[in-house]
Structure 1
Amino acid sequence: MLPSLHRMLASRSMALNSGLCRGLCALESTVTQKRSQASSAERKKFYESVTIAQGEGGYEINLDHRKLKTPQGKIFTVPSEPLAIAVATEWDSQKETIKFFTMHLTTLCNTALDNPTRRNKDQFIRSSLKYLDTDTICYRVEDPPGLVELQTNEWDPVLKWAENRYDVVIGSSTSIMGPVIPDKTKEVFHRHLASYNSWSLIGIEFMVTQLKSLILAMGLVDRFLTVQKAVLLSRLEEEYQIQRWGNVEWAHDYDLQELQARTAAGTLFVHLCSSSSTIKHKLLQD
């Protein structure tokens, strides 16, 4: 089962401000806190095998012979077989303990199934759309010159792509208030987001909150950017400071890897929720 899950998931995968001045103590405290939270979000593994079954409402995940359930006790059922395979891979990859903080796809599915905040589709859209007013790549600095040049060279091409792709005006600003986004632009993005189903919108919202950028998130959804590039662009000022002051490997690298993992999961989730394709069952016999 395990080799098949990894091969099938791989076949559906896509090419996907701070330096030392913040102080070593603050960085160490942050990492220690994260590690402590991670340790508390674990549970001893209680199953041996992970399988997928097609039910009335979609695809279910079985841990041994027990159906996986959501935190609210609902049967864990996803709309597409590729998504089921991806989730099953998360569970199959767990070792002696289940590290829930690494299972981003499972968490996103639980959110979609339980909808703990009781939001509707329009609320999910507005949640992502509000980031357009404070989008990371729209906020520019006036100094130092090196960072100004870096932002221009790296962010402008993405901004130009988005304006051409959606036929809108976005712009950038060095004002603390940010650029003034035209109402027409917001309307266009609202209509575009409305074309996605609720599951995909949950994934898009997750990506937007990770990157603090609706534009970067849509660049990922449209496959204009890879995950690595989008994450780098979202951390541009921090990476610039690292180049100037040096890297605290156990802190900066930890944050980078975490952000890449969450962003990759959100991107994959959106793509798999937007697809209605299935995988031939004969592949499950490998």
Structure 2
Amino acid sequence: MHYCIMLRSLVALHCRIGQTVLPRQRHHIQRHQSLIPYLQNAKCSGSAITERRKFYKDVSISQGEGGLYEISLDRRKLKTPGGKLFTVPNEALAIAVATEWDAQKDTLKFYTMHLTTLCNTALDNPTHRDKDQMITAALKFLETDTICYRVEEPSSLVELQKHEWDPAMEWIEKRYNVVIGSSSNILGPEIPQETNDTFRQHLSSYNFWALTGLEYVITQLKSVILSFGLIDRHLTVEQAVLLSRLEEEYQIQYWGNVEWAHDYDMYELRARTAAGALFVHLASESSTVKRKLLQD
């Protein structure tokens, strides 16, 4: 039931985005260069476009060789953009991906199918990286972590950052027994080597698939600290996203905003972050889901 609730929330969030964004504005969606070039170029998912007319009726999953799970659209097996058979390591993730495809209506909105995209990235590994390289890339974000950089003025924003960001900083330092700190200097705080070593060891405990999702979350929030808080369930998706946008939200309170653009940015970031976090947990799932979440 836990997976079912998370999946339904994610699909609902995707639907809200698809309904509120104007077609001519969809090409403004920002993608992390190393992780998300894939779904738009998928051979089975569609051509180099973000939408396509739905070409199937039924979505099903099956267990293939080596215990891996496959997705079929009208009995045609899904493939990655690189031409590989689309396989996932466990039933929970297979059900989540199948749910994304099953939730599509008359038009396939590929830009909402974040779990499928992350699977494609893990399977094709377009940047040809190993675990160590992914961990190094993730830790690079610690040097420019959103909540490590503090302003010196105005005083109201200084106080807001202290009030909202300090608890997250205190949590991660206590949780992992590390020192990070913050700075108003443009160079940011000097991260101790011991902290990097601790986080590297922690990240090494994740498998390649989970690291793909975790790096994706980190790029969305621009923060290792907030991402760890989210994955460890210390923060909700809404809290993590709001904390990552704290300065922007502060500026909006003073200067106003284009309402639809702000709402779209917020919903889209929440959807990507939620999908990434869900992907991390599902990619780490080793047990088989006994009860199917997809019903005819």
The interval holding the TM-score normalised by the smaller chain is: 0.7 to 0.9
Q: Displacement of 1:247 after TM fit?
A: 2.9
Is residue 54 of structure 1 aligned with residue 87 of structure 2?
A: no
Q: Deviations over 1:78-100 (max 9, x none)?
A: 01111111100110011112111
| Contact 1:8-1:85 within 8 A present in 2 as well | no
Indicate the residue corresponding to 2:28 in structure 1: 34
2:139·2:224 contact (CA, 8 Å) conserved in 1?
A: yes
Partners of 1:172 and 1:222 lie apart in 2 by 22
User: Among 275, 286, 291, which residue is 1:265 paired with?
Assistant: 275
Deviation (angstroms), 1:158: 0.2
Query: How many angstroms does 1:34 deviate by?
Result: 2.0
CA offsets 1:1-56 (integer angstroms, 9 cap, x no match): xxxxxx7842455999xxxxxxxxxxx9x946427x99931122110010111111
- Residue 4 of structure 2 corresponds to 10
Q: Which amino acid aligns with 1:52?
A: I
Residues of 1 paired with 2:238 and 2:272: CA distance?
11
SS in 1 for 2:61: strand
Q: Distance between the aligned counterparts of 2:295 and 2:231, measured in 1?
A: 32
CA change 1:158–1:15 in 2 (3 A) is farther
Aligned residue identity for 2:284: S
Query: What is aligned with 2:137?
Result: 127
Q: Aligned partners of 2:93 and 2:164: how far apart in 1?
A: 33
Q: 1:137 aligns with which of 114, 139, 147?
A: 147
Larger RCO: Structure 1 or Structure 2 (Cα < 8 Å, ≥ 6 residues apart)? 1
The CA distance in 2 between the partners of 1:285 and 1:255, in whole Å, is 32
> Which residue number corresponds to residue 34 of structure 2?
none
Residue 198 of structure 1 pairs with residue 198 of structure 2: no
Give unpaired runs (5+ residues) of structure 1. 1-6, 17-27
Q: Where does the alignment leave 5 or more consecutive residues of structure 2 unmatched?
A: 11-21, 32-39, 41-47
Identity %: 66
Amino acid at match of 1:238: E
Instruction: Decide whether the 8 Å contact of 1:9 with 1:85 is kept in 2.
Output: no
Contact (CA 8 Å) 1:82, 1:272: kept in 2 or not? yes
2:73 is matched with which residue?
A: 63
Aligned match of 2:156: 146
Report the Cα offset of residue 246 of structure 1. Answer: 1.9
Task: Give the whole-Å Cα distance in 1 for the aligned partners of 2:65 and 2:215.
Answer: 28
* Conserved? CA contact 1:44–1:97, under 8 Å: yes
* Whole-Å separation in 2 of the counterparts to 1:8 and 1:192: 25
Q: How big is each residue's C-alpha offset from its partner over 1:140-199, in whole Å with a ceiling of 9 and x where there is no partner?
A: 000011111110000000000000000000000000000000011000000000000000
| CA distance in 2: counterparts of 1:230 and 1:196, whole angstroms | 21
Q: Which amino acid in structure 1 is aligned with residue 279 of structure 2? A: F
Q: Secondary structure at the match of 1:40?
A: coil
1:174 lines up with 2:184 in the alignment: yes
TM-score of the superposed pair, with normalisation by structure 1: 0.88
**Equivalent pair of 1:31/1:251 in contact (CA under 8 Å):** no
